[in-house]
């Protein structure tokens, strides 16, 4: 995730951390693997828009940083603000579906789920055909395991 502040790009963790997001996660629906896969056509379009808007915002930020005149900077700033509002709308749309964005650049998302009485994440990334991985809440992308393990131990 990148945060945009006063004309500079600030790198941050790929997760949303405000407490209201964590509270909202508890109220979200939980997805089965089949439900997550059924949602992918819409999720894929939203995530593609997020990745594209993020890239556009990064390009506009670079343009703003290198703007030779205040007029050029003002134009780039205006375009950047529009792009960031659009990006925020896409992220909100994803959240309304109950899905959490983890990485703007790669299009990594998590679907809340449960397995053996505990909360887990079903994990999907733009470019993957279907939801094929899951991980523990705090394991992250590096802890991804095949969803076949869920079926085997259910």
Residue 12 maps to a domain: no
Residue-wise pLDDT tens digits, 34-63: 999 999 999 999 999 999 999 999 999 998
Q: What angle do CA 121, 125, 126 make, to 5 degrees?
A: 150
Q: What are phi and psi of 25, to 5 degrees?
A: -60, -35
* Residues spanned by the domain of 52: 28-153
* pTM for the model: 0.78
What are the C-alpha distances in Å from 50 to residues 56, 149, 154? 10, 30, 34
Residue 106 maps to a domain: yes
Residue-wise pLDDT tens digits, 1-14: 333 433 333 323 23
What's the structural domain count of the chain? 1
Residue 5 maps to a domain: no
Residue 3 maps to a domain: no
Please report where in the chains the tokens 């969803």 appear, as a residue.
147
CB 82 within 8 A of CB 105: no
Residue 114 maps to a domain: yes
Residue-wise pLDDT tens digits, 82-104: 999 999 999 999 999 999 999 99
DSSP reduced 3-state for 34 = helix
Residue 70 maps to a domain: yes
Residue 22 maps to a domain: no
């Amino acid at each position: 995730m990148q945060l945009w502040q006063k004309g500079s790009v600030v790198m941050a963790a790929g997760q949303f951390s405000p407490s209201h997001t964590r509270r909202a996660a508890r109220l979200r629906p939980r997805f089965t693997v089949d439900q997550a896969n059924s949602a992918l056509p819409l999720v894929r379009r939203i995530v593609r828009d997020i990745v594209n808007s993020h890239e556009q915002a990064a390009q506009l930020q670079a343009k703003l940083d290198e703007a030779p005149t205040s007029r050029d900077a003002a134009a780039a700033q205006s375009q950047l603000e529009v792009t960031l509002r659009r990006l925020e709308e896409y992220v909100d749309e994803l959240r309304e579906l109950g899905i959490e964005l983890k990485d703007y650049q790669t299009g990594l998302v998590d679907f809340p789920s449960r397995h053996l009485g505990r909360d887990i994440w079903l994990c999907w990334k733009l470019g993957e055909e279907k939801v094929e991985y899951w991980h523990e809440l705090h394991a992250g992308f590096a802890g991804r395991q095949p969803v076949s393990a869920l079926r085997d131990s259910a």
